[in-house]
């Protein structure tokens, strides 16, 4: 297996990932040698809740929507995995089934490491154990941040913070504006924030009046990071 099928942009996103770029050159090369390129269409099911874990993946293009199903049968978005981020290692470590569904969001390119190759990498590179432990610690910290925000911050502050994160991960600079490249409807944003679509819509209208964002069909444009930072800090 090799990564020769990646475009230059896709390879750059993998190489510049905040976790991957800190690995040694030998380990990065070993991971890429064991990786296969997989291209999937929007909405393609990648893993399902309760299924056995057999792959470790890195996102090179697009995004992966991680979701669960509510008691009423509604699909609820929990997070999006952005380019440069690797996922799927937790279930490979503990041997338990997948905890959530994962679908491609937009045209998506993945680097896929099969379960036997993942464990062989662990056996050959002690550094990978330490690196994955740091990655898990980062996830736990982010999880605590989310829980704290839900319990202490008003919706406007949480929404502003989420838009800043999306602009950092998917932002496309257009002059002084930043267009968020990830296609999202307001229901998606509401699910990420644990709020109703109506309340998120009200807050976005307030952001527009303040000149912080512009709302377009399935797209958001950040007009002022400074104003969003101010709202997020309230």
**pLDDT tens digits, one per residue of 9-68:** 999 999 999 999 999 999 999 999 999 999 999 999 999 999 999 999 999 999 999 999
CB 224 within 8 A of CB 179: no
Domains along the sequence of the chain with CATH: 8-150 (2.60.120.10), 154-232 (1.10.10.10)
**What pLDDT sits at residue 74?**
80
**What pLDDT sits at residue 67?**
93
d(CA 13, CA 58): 10
In this predicted model, what pLDDT tens digit does every residue of 150-176 receive, in sequence order?
Answer: 899 999 999 999 999 999 989 999 888
In this predicted model, what pLDDT tens digit does every residue of 71-101 receive, in sequence order?
Answer: 787 888 999 999 999 999 999 999 999 999 9
Could you give the C-alpha distances from 143 to 33, 136, 182, 233, in angstroms and in order? 32, 10, 22, 19
Res 1 pLDDT > 60: no
Q: pTM of this prediction?
A: 0.87
**What pLDDT sits at residue 4?**
63
**What pLDDT sits at residue 184?**
85
d(CA 92, CA 118): 8
CB 160 within 8 A of CB 223: no
């Amino acid at each position: 297996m090799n990564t020769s099928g990646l475009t230059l942009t896709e390879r750059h996103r993998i190489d510049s990932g905040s976790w991957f770029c800190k690995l040694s050159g030998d380990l990065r090369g070993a991971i890429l040698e064991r990786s296969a390129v997989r291209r999937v269409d929007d909405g393609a099911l990648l893993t399902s809740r309760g299924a056995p874990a057999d792959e470790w993946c890195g996102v090179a293009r697009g995004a992966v929507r991680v979701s669960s199903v509510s008691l009423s049968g509604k699909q609820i978005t929990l997070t999006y995995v952005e380019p440069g981020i690797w996922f799927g290692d937790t279930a490979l470590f503990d041997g338990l089934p997948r905890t959530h569904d994962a679908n491609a969001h937009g045209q998506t390119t993945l680097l896929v490491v099969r379960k036997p190759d993942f464990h062989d990498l662990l056996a050959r590179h002690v550094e990978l154990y330490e690196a994955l432990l740091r990655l898990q610690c980062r996830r736990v910290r982010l999880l605590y941040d989310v829980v704290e925000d839900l319990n202490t911050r008003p919706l406007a502050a949480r929404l502003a913070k989420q838009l800043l994160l999306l602009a950092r991960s998917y932002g496309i600079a257009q002059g002084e504006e930043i267009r968020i490249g990830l296609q999202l409807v307001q229901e998606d944003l509401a699910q990420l924030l644990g709020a109703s679509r109506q309340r998120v819509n009200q807050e976005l209208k307030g952001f527009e009046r303040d000149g912080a964002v512009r709302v377009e069909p399935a797209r958001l444009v950040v007009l002022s990071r400074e104003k969003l930072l101010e709202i997020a800090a309230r």
